[in-house]
Amino acid sequence: MSSHSVNASKFVANDERMHWHDQALWFVREKRDKASKSIPEWEQLREFANQIKTHTMANLDTYLLQFEENATKKGIKVHFAFDALEHNQIVAKILKEHNVTKLVKSKSMLTEECHLNPYLENLGIEVIDTDLGERIVQLRNEPPSHIVLPAIHLKKSDVSDTFHEHLGTEQGNYDPTYLTRAARGALREDFLTAQAGLTGVNFAIAQTGGVVVCTNEGNADMGASVPKLHIASMGIEKIIPRLEDLSVFTRLLARSATGQPITSYTSHFHAPVEGGEMHIIIVDNNRSQFLASEKNKKALNCIRCGACMNTCPVYRRSGGHSYEYVIPGPIGSILGSKKEPEKHNSLPFACTLCGSCTNVCPVKIDLDSQLYSLRQDLANANLIDPKKKMAMKVTAWLMSKPALFDFVGKMARKIIPKLPNSILYNKANVWGKQRDLPKMPPKSFKEMFKDGELDD
Amino acid sequence: MRIGLFIPCFMNELYPNICKATYKLLKNQGLQIEYPLNQTCCGQPMANSGCSKDVKKLAIEFVKTFKDFDYIVAPSGSCVAMVKEHYAEFFDNDKDYNKVKASIYEVCEFFHDIIKVENINFNVSFPHKVGLHNSCHGHRVLKLATASELNIPYDSKLKNLLNTISDIELITLRREDECCGFGGTFSVQEEAISVAMGKDRIKDHLDSNAEIMTGADMSCLMHMDGIINRDKNPIKVMHIVEILAGVKP
């Protein structure tokens, strides 16, 4: 069994929790449907977004340099990082130069990808995630299970237990307002005592040299405004050309993510705070290999709304941790298996190719087609189960011999009905674990046709 | 008008009566149906498992077998989608493949788009509560109906056809087009999720008091039928052509 299916079967084993998870995410999908259908030009917006992103990625060299130039003019220090390690080193260097001992972070999947927190903690720097969901999973020492809803795998009672242990809240008090206020109180203290704030970036505007961060909790604003030092980390693909392009994405992003018309805060950072410093770190970390791939380059168009996760019937029933990659669900399966095919070879197969993700994607990434083609890439690189590969070869060979195929079918229809269930439903029959096999008819259609039984 | 009947391999072996219903349904419209006997499999299970390279020979045979028909019709959305969407890599803008690609239809799509609803009278009564399971490949690749994710006017070719049947009652599902979890080899590779999805899909039908679950892809229905029989659920699976052809439950 592949690693995703092993993890998924564990998640499914708790039927009540699995259905609760499925329903929670389906609820978000339904909110997204309502929000997207309130805009008549929705499909046109998706197409605009697709074209803007595709154009930008095709001219990324130009736009990145334009962004750097304009950001620098605004007094922002721009750094380029080749990979995760270089990113972490740059962050650490900036923090060391400012004698930072405590860093507040707003949500940034890139820093998750770079494993920034443990890197800084090893250097003796305290890192506080300030997004509520991120804070919950940080206290639990877990990775986020969703890119927008990091703690969606947890129930109120889980959060209560965690807060009781770490924040001293009342045991057994599951009231969300009470728990949120407790987190808020603790975080307020962290915002006031941290010497630096790190945020992610939703959009970086080449024309203006500024970055835009979309949040619902205002935590990015606190982190970027209270301490004098603001570091914004972004992947190279966050660039959009012009300020006016932003409107296309802000209209799509929150509606796709949570069904909100817009995030509570859409914050523009175009300069350091007075008397402070602002740094932007632009990270590649294997993104440029997508630019070089005709089949996978559109994966870079992703604006990280999470809609493909919410709609994915497999994600909803297996949970984000089952993917074992920083970004789960359909887009994560593409990014993970392309970047590290040996490690994440099961991910493109954790999918029924239902295509819902492609339809729901606000920037029209061809997710299901990419998952299909990544399967081919994995098989060609001998990264699928050799038994399966052989079985497929044999099946294809058999199917290329019509007479032999007919004969094998005939034999199966003769023999299988005579087998007792104890043999038929043996351990190797995975299909039959929870499903009956179809009943074998006495004749195939071809035999009925040949025997003239069709026109009775 | 010459019509080539394409019968998916597993339907030929396991569901000959549904194939027969398809054949008769087409024949009853006064169409000239031919059934090439050397056909086997479109190669979808292998291609979806990552082994599309092994399928080339089957694809070439398929095109050779069906290239001379005006239309190719099959009672399976996903097999048609395989030929339409995934064969291109085997053919370098080949004229025969391009013709096959343009002339292959899922059987309901064929009735709906080529024969047209106004010209059809199935002359059938089906006094039952029926839930329609929209199988994903027919639904989202062939666009047999408007997918729930999209903000475009709603239409459903399958429902349009079912609505020509007297006394039928189409029930509304909570999730219009949720996947059933079959997914080819996914059904065994990810057995736990596959069965969980199938059970949820069946429950949606049961909660809506459907007596019959129908759809245009027997593979999805076979998966759910397997669960229904194991769990002894009070619902029966029928391929949509059986209903259109007047087969009794």
Does residue A56 carry a pLDDT above 60?
yes
Closest residue by Cα to residue B138 from B241, B228, B207 = B241
d(CA A3, CA A358): 24
How does pLDDT run across A352-385, given as a tens digit for each residue?
A: 999 999 999 999 999 999 999 999 999 999 999 9
Cβ <8 Å between B147 and A359: yes
Partner-chain contact B20 A412, CB within 8 Å: no
* Confidence tier at A49 by pLDDT (50, 70, 90): very high
Largest CA distance in chain A: 91
pLDDT in tens, B156-199: 999 999 999 999 999 999 999 999 999 999 999 999 999 999 99
Is a pLDDT exceeding 80 seen at residue B27?
yes
Would you state the pLDDT for residue B56?
97
**Nearest CA to CA, how far is B108 from chain A (Å)?**
20
Paired strand residues for B125: B166
The pLDDT assigned to A456 comes to: 64
Q: What is the pLDDT of residue A277?
A: 98
Average pLDDT (B83-88) is 96
Are B136 and A353 in contact (CB < 8 Å)?
yes
For B85, other C-beta atoms within 10 Å of its C-beta total 15
Of A37, A400, A454, the CB nearest to B23: A454
A409/B13 Cβ within 8 A:
yes
pLDDT band at A388 (very low <50, low <70, confident <90, very high): very high
Whether B54 sits inside 8 A of A393 (CB atoms) is yes
Residue B111: predicted pLDDT: 98
CB contact under 8 A, B50 and A433: no
- Residue B238's alpha-carbon distances to A259, B18, B133, in angstroms, are 37, 9, 11
Q: Has residue A69 got a pLDDT over 60?
A: yes
Which residue from B minimizes the CA distance to A413? B13
Which of A249, A251, A145, A137 is closest to A201 using CA atoms?
Answer: A249
CA-CA-CA-CA torsion sign (B151, B139, B35, B101): positive
CA distance B144 to B156: 6
Contact yes or no for B39/B79 (Cβ under 8 A): no
Three-state DSSP class for residue B32:
strand
What are the two backbone dihedrals, phi and then psi, of residue B248, each rounded to the nearest 5 degrees? -85, 145
Residue range B112-169, pLDDT digits in tens? 999 999 999 999 999 999 999 999 999 999 999 999 999 999 999 999 999 999 999 9
ipTM of the modeled complex: 0.97
Q: Can you tell me the distance from the alpha carbon of A355 to that of A362, in angstroms, rounded to the nearest whole number?
A: 14
Chain B residue nearest residue A409, CA to CA: B13
Q: Is the pLDDT of residue A2 over 80?
A: no
Q: What percentage of chain A reaches a pLDDT higher than 70?
A: 99
Q: In whole angstroms, what is the distance from residue B138 CA to residue A369 CA?
A: 15
**Residue for token pair 């959060």:** A159
Residues B240 and B25: their CA atoms lie apart, in Å, by: 11
Chain A closest-CA separation from residue B90 CA (Å)? 14
Residues 90-129 of B with CB under 8 A from A: none
Nearest chain A residue to B200 by CA distance is A19
Strands A210-215 and A203-205: antiparallel
Asked if the model's pLDDT at residue B237 lies above 80, the reply is yes
Stretch A108-135: mean pLDDT = 98
pLDDT for position A455 = 74
Residue of chain B minimizing CA distance to A455: B24
Residues of B in contact with A15 (CB under 8 A): 196
The pLDDT tens digits of the residues spanning A299-336 come to 999 999 999 999 999 999 999 999 999 999 999 999 99
Structure confidence at residue B220 (pLDDT): 98
A356 contacts B23? CB cut-off 8 A: no
Question: Of A108, A304, A283, whose CA–CA distance to A117 is shortest?
Answer: A108
A chain contacts of residue B184, beta-carbon cutoff 8 Å? 352-353
Mean pLDDT throughout A141-162?
97
- Between chains, do B179 and A1 touch, taking CB under 8 Å as contact? no
Residue B82 confidence class, pLDDT cut points 50, 70, 90: very high
A317, A360, A389 member nearest B51 (Cβ) = A389
Contacts of B29 (CB under 8 A, 6+ apart): B111, B115, B120
Between chain A and chain B, the number of residue pairs with CB atoms below 8 A apart is 222
Q: Please judge whether B191 and A379 are an interchain contact, meaning their C-beta atoms are less than 8 angstroms apart.
A: no
Is B189 in Cβ contact with A1 (below 8 Å)? Answer: yes
Measured CA to CA, the distance from residue A415 to residue A411 in angstroms comes to 6
CA distance B225 to B219: 10
Q: How large is the average pLDDT for residues A121-136? A: 98
Whether the predicted pLDDT of A1 surpasses 80: no
CA distance B241 to B249: 12
Contact state of A351 with B186 under an 8 Å Cβ cutoff: yes
Of A39, A354, A446, Cβ closest to residue B12: A446
Name the CA dihedral angle for A147, A151, A155, A159, rounded to a multiple of 10 degrees: -170
For A63, A65, A213, A252, the CA distances from A48, given in Å and listed in that order, are 18, 23, 21, 11
Residue-wise DSSP of A214-259? EESSSHHHHHHHSSSEEEEEEEGGGEES-HHHHHHHHHHHHHHHTS
Interface of B with A in 210-249 (CB under 8 A): 222-223, 225-227, 229-230
Q: Which of B55, B149, B222 sits opposite A360 (nearest CB)?
A: B149
B57 touches chain A (CB under 8 A): yes
* CA atoms in the 13 A half-sphere facing the CB of B12: 26
Chain B residues within 8 A of A389 when measuring between CB atoms: 50-51
Query: Of A285, A347, A363, which Cα lies nearest the Cα of A56?
Result: A363
Q: Which amino acid is at A200?
A: G
**pLDDT per position as a tens digit, A242-265:** 999 999 999 999 999 999 999 999
CB contact under 8 A, A379 and B50: yes
Q: Please, what is the average pLDDT of chain A?
A: 97
| Per-residue pLDDT at B110 exceeds 80 | yes
Distance between CA atoms of B145 and B153, rounded to whole angstroms? 10
Beta carbons of A413 and B13 less than 8 Å apart: yes
Contacts of B229 in chain A (CB under 8 A): 435-436
Full DSSP string of A374-400: HHHHHHHTT-S-HHHHHHHHHHHHHHT
Say how many Å lie between the first and final Cα of chain A, rounded: 47
Q: At what angle do helices B191-207 and A15-37 cross, to 10 degrees?
A: 70
Nearest Cα residue in chain B from A353: B183
Chain A residues near residue B182 by CB distance under 8 angstroms: 352
Span A385-407, average pLDDT: 95
C-beta separation of A246 from A240 below 8 A: yes
What would the DSSP string read from start to end of A261-276?
SS-SEEEEE-SPPTT-
* Beta strands per DSSP E along A39-84: 77-81
Contact present, B102 and B63 (Cβ < 8 Å) = no
CA distance A188 to chain B (A): 40
